[in-house]
């Protein structure tokens, strides 16, 4: 078999960017399992255009930096539509209170999470926290038995690809993240850092300034996004015993 | 022949009572005569005569005439039928000596009624002294206690004596019993038990007398084998090398342990630690290097079929890149408590740009330990899952021969599809391709981008491996986004899913196929979308359970879980070289089609011992496989197009019966002594005493000496005369 016969990962990604504008129900071989950050539309939440475009950036950064395949075409999914179940990952971003989800939305959210889906709740205005609080409230309606818990700094999400100390986004935000954990997996991640805001592009530049750390903070935010994607794709792979001695050594060296 | 008797129906008690009354009366008469001056001998004589006449009238004596015959005594001859009797005696083999001795007894004791039985560990069997006709009745060990007990319950005339023909190495009564315990163990037969000692001297022989284990055999865990080596018959065994090997399908035996025993002229036990990496039935050979002069080479090795359990399935999961398919498989594997998972995913390639200054402090990545995984650690895994990983890019090529050998020696392999799997990953034409259940195309596109829904084949519809998925989804399967290009299935492999449009030659292209390669099994899954069974609109209907059902079946079949085997094949009795071997085949319920059984010898060269095809006639089938040579074998049953079911088994040369070749003439002598019998060598069977014959009465005729009315008349006249004489003598 020659290389010319193979459809490379980057070629696939580029091709998909070109196809993004066209309706596309079928993917190429190997693409069905590729990471994609789908936007969740639920309740009264609205995502601005820049942040909606950040989902593509998320996939492209993943593809550029890691071996994982990603798909950059945008998709918005609703909680009460069957399309929700096509892929196991979605991002719910917003700036205001989402209001009360309809019963069909709560049901859809519950089934998505119980089936094994992963949801990132990204507060675009963590300064007010209205979106984050309302999203927690509504998710608790879907999974009343699993209130959010704090993920320790030792959680695998901080080492799935990059070795990170804390979560960051457009804002520095809290040093921890909360999550809904089912079994051994975090199925909902609550971010109070506006991660999509740090990834969002407008024209040739970044859509939002990152404060207070500037470019370095943005790089860390991108790394955190990559780690989240790797967590979605590999779950707790980096917690496996075979990695422990290496990672302990590297953490020690980094300090 | 004539004798006197009393009247028919008269009991001895009645006769005695009559005699007593008459004697008392005569006593009175005697006393009266003595006291009287006038009464004399005449009165006394008349009284005596009257008493005799009364006795005659009451007892009515008869003449009895009898005719009879003398029958020879009933004697039982018990000939030891344990397989051990095929070992050498001083002259010829013990079995020939035993049968000759029994024959000599029959010829000598023509006047006796002799019943010849064979005894071993089961019921007594009437024995023909034809050597060939009794070969199929040989047993594992000799239970004389059970044989005597059964003999005591035999109907008909009681045996007057019992003759045991054996070498004395009996399972019961056991070796170290004192005389009292020995008598108790024999069950007090009540007749003499004579013994014929068919062998006195042990042959020059070094043997593996016993192999035992401490606890159960568990895959990947050390197991201690206690190996007892014995030397007898004057053979000196100062140093006897012992080796333990595992016999494998289509490959050379793998040495597991080696040691040296020092039995001298007796016995020695050594402990050898072995680690068996594969679960299931494994054939283990324990062999010694016997010193020169060994007369019984058959017992220089033992073959054991160990049922190796698996506490947890140790699995290596290697993925070329993280995808949702990888994620779902990992989640399932990690959620399964019975799986010990070692995973390596390629997270970064050389072309990736992680934007770091220092890899070691900013990235959590570790080097892919390809060398360690595929050399030293490979045998420790029960199965290897290669998921969408490029053999060229990740330098797997040098290790593919080892992976092929790993599968052939019993390992499991699953190759899961993706752009970098199968031909797309450089596996076409590689050693690994040879152990995949499908051929791989070397030209053309390595994969196809068209979306399709896999179709069940006829085999897929009946295979237990997919039973769980079909139970949940019926014929329905999710759409797959493309497929790997797979070639035709290898001979003996089974295709469960096929492509509805793509073809290989005249047949639909396989999508999911299973195969047996040597001792191992392999699975080819030419799609990367089975995660759709866990998370998709279709999966949502079944709460994603079809994914677990699919992988439970695939991994279960790979690990020979009986739940996913198509039927059951078992030996009807332990296989012994040179003796008839039979199998019971149980096809799975509802399976249709012909049943085929193939038996191959383990090891190299590959040798087919039997191939047979039968029509299903009931819930189970009986198959005579004839007489096999000593060695390890693998029996495969296939029902219709379903995947085969396999049974590995050992066929020993004599087995446990040959392990200790020493006769035990002393025990036979003690048995004879404890029962009042005699113990002799075969040449002296003429010295055994024949019990006295039994007399049998054929006819008896009784006739009265004097007609009863004469006795009565005589008694009346005699009593009257006595009365007159008493009156004359002045007696009352």
Q: Please report which confidence band the pLDDT of residue B551 belongs to, taking 50, 70 and 90 as the band edges.
A: very high
Dist CA B704 CA B294 (whole Å):
80
DSSP state of B410: T
Select from B335, B347, B542 the residue whose CB has the most chain A CBs within 10 Å, as the one to mutate to test that interface.
B347
**Number of other CB atoms surrounding residue B377 within 10 Å:** 14
Q: Please report which confidence band the pLDDT of residue A13 belongs to, taking 50, 70 and 90 as the band edges.
A: very low
All residues at 6 or more sequence positions from B640 whose CB lies less than 8 Å from its CB, including other chains? B458, B459, B462, B591, B592, B593, B594
Residue A252: the pLDDT is 62
**A250–B360 CB contact, under 8 Å:** yes
Choose among A35, A87, A161: nearest Cβ to B363: A161
**B327–A114 CB contact, under 8 Å:** no
Residue B87 · residue B93 · CB < 8 Å: yes
Residue A38 · residue A90 · CB < 8 Å: yes
Q: Which of B641, B632, B558 is nearest to B601 (CA)?
A: B632
**B482–A184 CB contact, under 8 Å:** no
The CA-atom distances, in angstroms, between B382 and each of A227, B9, B222 are 32, 88, 16
Superfamily of domain B566-658: Immunoglobulins (2.60.40.10)
Choose among A64, A83, A116: nearest Cβ to B534: A116
Dist CA B572 CA B624 (whole Å):
10
- CA–chain centroid gap for B367, Å, is 52
Classify each residue of B525-536 as buried b or exposed e, where b means 16 or more C-beta atoms within 10 Å of its C-beta.
bbbbbbbbbbbb
Residue B339 · residue B315 · CB < 8 Å: yes
Q: Which of B249, B275, B103, B265 is nearest to B560 (CA)?
A: B249
Dist CA B583 CA B523 (whole Å):
28
- Using DSSP, state whether B29 is helix, strand or coil: helix
**B323–A33 CB contact, under 8 Å:** yes
pLDDT in tens, B2-33: 677 777 778 888 889 989 999 999 998 888 88
Q: Does B365 touch chain A (CB under 8 A)?
A: yes
Q: Which of A21, A53, A55 is nearest to A36 (CA)?
A: A55
Residue A1: the pLDDT is 30
Q: Which residues pair with B588 in a beta bridge?
A: none
The CA-atom distances, in angstroms, between B509 and each of A16, B77, B425, B461 are 28, 70, 19, 17
Q: Mean pLDDT, chain B, as a whole number? A: 90
CATH of B313-445+483-530, one of 3.40.50.880, 1.10.260.40, 1.10.1370.30, 3.30.2270.10: 3.40.50.880
Q: Does B174 touch chain A (CB under 8 A)?
A: no
Chain B residues close to A230, C-beta within 8 Å = 322, 347
- Measure B394 CA to nearest chain A CA, in Å: 12
Asked whether the predicted pLDDT for residue B364 surpasses 60, the reply is yes
Q: What is the DSSP string of B495-558?
A: EEEEEEEEEETTEEEEEEEEEEETTEEEEEE--S-GGGGTSSHHHHHTTTHHHHHHHHHHHHHH
Same topology, domains B206-308 and B313-445+483-530? Answer is no
- Measure B435 CA to nearest chain A CA, in Å: 20
Q: Which of B318, B320, B324, B323 is nearest to B539 (CA)?
A: B324
Chain B residues close to A235, C-beta within 8 Å = 327, 330-331, 334
Q: What is the mean pLDDT of residues A82-111?
A: 95
Chain B residues close to A61, C-beta within 8 Å = none
Starting at the edge strand found earlier in the chain, the sheet holding B280-288 runs B251-261, B240-248, B280-288, B301-308
Class of the CATH domain delimited by B206-308: mainly beta
Second CATH level (architecture) for the domain B73-201+663-692: 3-Layer(aba) Sandwich (3.40)
Which residue's entry shows tokens 């079946």?
Answer: B553
Select from B316, B326, B327, B453 the residue whose CB has the most chain A CBs within 10 Å, as the one to mutate to test that interface.
B327
Where exactly are the structural domains of chain A? 29-254
Closest residue in B to A67 (Cα–Cα): B348
All residues at 6 or more sequence positions from B126 whose CB lies less than 8 Å from its CB, including other chains? B115, B116, B117, B118
The enclosing H or E element of B334 equals helix B324-335
Q: Is the pTM of this model over 0.95?
A: no
- Using DSSP, state whether B560 is helix, strand or coil: coil
Choose among B361, B481, B528: nearest Cβ to A250: B361
Q: Which residues pair with B341 in a beta bridge?
A: B315
Q: Does B508 touch chain A (CB under 8 A)?
A: no
Residue B590: the pLDDT is 66
**B347–A254 CB contact, under 8 Å:** no
**B428–A183 CB contact, under 8 Å:** no
3-state helix, strand, coil in chain A (%, to 5): 40, 15, 40
Dist CA B527 CA B486 (whole Å):
10
What the block records as the tokens of B436 is 């995949």
Residue B640: the pLDDT is 78
Asked whether the predicted pLDDT for residue A12 surpasses 60, the reply is no
Interface A-B, measured as beta-carbon pairs within 8 A, has a size of 181
H/E/C letters for each residue in B622-661? EEEEEECCCEEEEEEEEECCCCCEEEEEEEECCHHHHCCC
Instruction: Give percent of chain A above pLDDT 70.
Output: 85
**A235–B334 CB contact, under 8 Å:** yes
Choose among A114, A117, A230: nearest Cβ to B322: A230
Q: Which of A112, A136, A113, A138 is nearest to A126 (CA)?
A: A136
Asked whether the predicted pLDDT for residue A254 surpasses 80, the reply is no
Q: Which of A16, A67, A187 is nearest to B323 (CA)?
A: A67
Residue B156: the pLDDT is 77
Asked whether the predicted pLDDT for residue A9 surpasses 60, the reply is no
Q: What is the torsion angle, in degrees rounded to the nearest 10, for the CA atoms of residue B284, residue B289, residue B293 and residue B299? A: -10
Whether residue B715 is preceded by a cis peptide bond, meaning omega within 30 degrees of 0, is no
Chain A residues close to B321, C-beta within 8 Å = 9, 67-69
Q: Does B323 touch chain A (CB under 8 A)?
A: yes
Assign residue A59 a region: left if phi > 0, alpha if psi is -120 to 50, beta otherwise? alpha
Choose among B345, B428, B534: nearest Cβ to A234: B345
Choose among B449, B531, B539: nearest Cβ to A33: B531
**A26–B481 CB contact, under 8 Å:** yes
Q: Which of B384, B417, B394 is nearest to B313 (CA)?
A: B384
Q: Does B363 touch chain A (CB under 8 A)?
A: yes
Q: Where are the beta strands (DSSP E) in B113-213?
A: 113-119, 125-126, 161-166, 193-197, 205-213
Choose among A1, A30, A115: nearest Cβ to B426: A1
- CA–chain centroid gap for A250, Å, is 26
Chain B residues close to A111, C-beta within 8 Å = 540
Q: Please report which confidence band the pLDDT of residue A22 belongs to, taking 50, 70 and 90 as the band edges.
A: very low
Where exactly are the structural domains of chain B? 2-64+701-728, 73-201+663-692, 206-308, 313-445+483-530, 566-658
Dist CA B663 CA B84 (whole Å):
10
Instruction: Determine whether domain A29-254 maps to CATH 3.40.640.10.
Output: no
Chain B residues close to A31, C-beta within 8 Å = 481
Whether residue B159 is preceded by a cis peptide bond, meaning omega within 30 degrees of 0, is no
pLDDT in tens, B287-302: 999 999 999 999 999 9
Choose among A237, A246, A254: nearest Cβ to B330: A237
pLDDT in tens, B687-706: 999 888 877 766 777 888 88
Residue B518 · residue B408 · CB < 8 Å: yes
Asked whether the predicted pLDDT for residue A17 surpasses 60, the reply is no
């Amino acid at each position: 078999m020659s290389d010319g016969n193979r459809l490379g990962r980057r070629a696939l990604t580029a091709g998909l960017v070109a196809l993004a504008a066209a309706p596309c129900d079928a993917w190429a071989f190997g693409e069905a399992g590729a990471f994609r950050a789908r936007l969740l539309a639920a309740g009264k939440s609205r995502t601005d255009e820049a942040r909606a475009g950040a989902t593509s950036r998320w996939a492209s950064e993943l593809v550029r930096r890691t071996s994982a395949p990603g798909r950059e075409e945008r998709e918005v999914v609703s909680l009460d539509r069957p399309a929700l179940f096509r892929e196991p990952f979605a991002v719910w971003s917003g700036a205001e209170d989402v209001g009360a989800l309809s019963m069909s939305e709560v049901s859809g959210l519950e089934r998505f999470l119980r089936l094994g889906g992963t949801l990132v709740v990204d507060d675009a205005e963590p300064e007010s926290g209205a979106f984050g609080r309302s999203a927690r409230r509504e998710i608790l309606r879907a999974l009343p038995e699993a209130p959010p818990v704090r993920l320790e700094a030792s959680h695998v999400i901080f080492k799935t690809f990059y070795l990170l100390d804390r979560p960051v986004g457009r804002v520095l935000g809290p040093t921890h993240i909360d999550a809904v954990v089912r079994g051994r997996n975090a199925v909902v991640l609550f971010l109070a850092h506006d991660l999509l805001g740090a990834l969002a592009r407008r024209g040739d530049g970044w859509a939002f300034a990152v404060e207070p750390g500037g470019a370095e903070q943005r790089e860390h935010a991108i790394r955190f996004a990559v780690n989240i994607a790797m967590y979605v794709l590999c779950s707790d792979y980096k917690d496996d015993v075979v990695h422990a001695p290496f990672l302990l050594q590297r953490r020690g060296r980094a300090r | 022949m004539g004798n006197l008797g009393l009247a028919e129906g008269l009991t001895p008690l009645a006769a005695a009572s009559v005699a007593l009354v008459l004697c008392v009366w005569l006593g009175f008469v005697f006393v009266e005569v003595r006291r009287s001056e006038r009464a004399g001998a005449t009165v006394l004589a008349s009284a005596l005569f009257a008493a005799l006449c009364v006795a005659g009238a009451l007892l009515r004596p008869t003449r009895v005439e009898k005719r009879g015959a003398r029958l020879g005594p009933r004697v039982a001859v018990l000939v030891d039928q344990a397989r051990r009797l095929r070992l050498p005696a001083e002259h010829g083999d013990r079995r020939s000596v035993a049968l000759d001795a029994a024959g000599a007894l029959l010829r000598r004791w023509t006047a006796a009624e002799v019943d010849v039985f064979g005894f071993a560990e089961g019921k007594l069997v009437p024995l023909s002294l034809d050597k060939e006709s009794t070969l199929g009745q040989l047993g594992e060990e000799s239970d004389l206690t059970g044989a005597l007990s059964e003999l005591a319950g035999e109907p008909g005339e009681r045996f007057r004596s019992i003759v045991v023909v054996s070498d004395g190495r009996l399972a019961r009564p056991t070796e170290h019993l004192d005389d009292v315990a020995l008598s108790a163990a024999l069950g007090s037969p009540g007749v003499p038990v004579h013994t014929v000692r068919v062998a006195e001297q042990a042959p020059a022989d070094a043997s593996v007398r016993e192999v035992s284990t401490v606890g159960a055999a568990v895959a990947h865990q050390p197991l201690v084998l206690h190996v007892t080596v014995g030397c007898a018959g004057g053979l000196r065994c100062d140093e006897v090398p012992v080796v333990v090997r595992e016999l494998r399908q289509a490959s050379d035996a793998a040495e597991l342990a080696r040691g040296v025993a020092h039995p001298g002229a007796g016995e020695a036990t050594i402990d050898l630690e072995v680690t068996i990496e594969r679960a299931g039935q494994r054939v283990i050979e324990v062999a010694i290097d016997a010193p020169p002069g060994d007369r019984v080479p058959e017992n220089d090795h033992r073959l054991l079929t160990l049922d190796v359990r698996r506490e947890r399935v140790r699995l290596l999961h290697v993925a070329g890149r993280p995808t949702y398919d990888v994620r779902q498989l990992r989640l399932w594997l990690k959620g399964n408590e019975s799986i010990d998972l070692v995973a390596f995913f390629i997270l970064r390639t050389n072309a990736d740009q992680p934007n770091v200054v220092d890899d070691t402090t900013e990235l959590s990545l570790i080097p892919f330990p390809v060398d360690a995984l595929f050399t030293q650690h490979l045998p420790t895994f029960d199965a290897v899952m290669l998921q969408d990983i490029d053999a060229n890019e990740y330098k797997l090529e040098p290790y593919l021969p080892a992976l092929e050998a790993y599968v052939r020696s019993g390992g499991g392999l699953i190759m899961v599809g993706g752009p970098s799997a199968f031909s797309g990953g450089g596996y076409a034409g590689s050693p690994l391709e040879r152990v995949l259940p499908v051929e791989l195309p070397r030209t053309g596109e390595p994969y196809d981008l068209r979306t399709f829904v896999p179709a069940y084949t006829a085999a897929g519809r009946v295979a237990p491996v997919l039973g769980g998925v079909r139970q949940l989804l019926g014929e329905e399967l999710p759409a797959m986004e493309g497929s790997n290009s797979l070639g035709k299935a290898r001979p003996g492999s089974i295709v469960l899913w096929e492509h509805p449009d793509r073809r290989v030659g005249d047949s639909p292209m396989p999508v999911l196929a299973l195969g047996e390669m040597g001792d191992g099994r392999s699975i080819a899954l030419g799609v990367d979308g089975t995660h759709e069974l866990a998370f998709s609109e279709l999966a949502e209907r079944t709460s994603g359970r079809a994914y677990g059902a699919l992988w439970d079946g695939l991994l279960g079949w790979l690990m020979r879980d009986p739940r996913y085997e198509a039927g059951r094949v078992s030996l009807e009795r332990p296989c012994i070289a040179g003796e008839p071997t039979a199998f019971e085949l149980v096809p799975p319920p509802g399976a249709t089609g012909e049943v085929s059984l193939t038996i191959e010898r383990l090891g190299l060269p590959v040798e087919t011992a039997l191939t047979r095809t039968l029509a299903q006639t009931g819930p189970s089938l009986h198959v005579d496989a004839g007489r096999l040579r000593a060695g390890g074998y693998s029996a495969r049953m296939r029902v219709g197009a379903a995947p085969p079911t396999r049974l590995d088994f050992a066929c020993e040369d004599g087995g446990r019966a040959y392990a200790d070749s020493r006769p035990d003439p002393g025990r036979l002598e003690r048995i004879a002594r404890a029962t009042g019998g005699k113990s002799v060598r075969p040449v002296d069977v003429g010295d055994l005493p024949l019990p006295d014959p039994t007399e049998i009465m054929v006819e008896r005729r009784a006739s009265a000496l004097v007609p009863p009315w004469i006795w009565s008349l005589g008694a009346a006249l005699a009593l009257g005369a006595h009365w007159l004489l008493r009156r004359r003598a002045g007696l009352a």
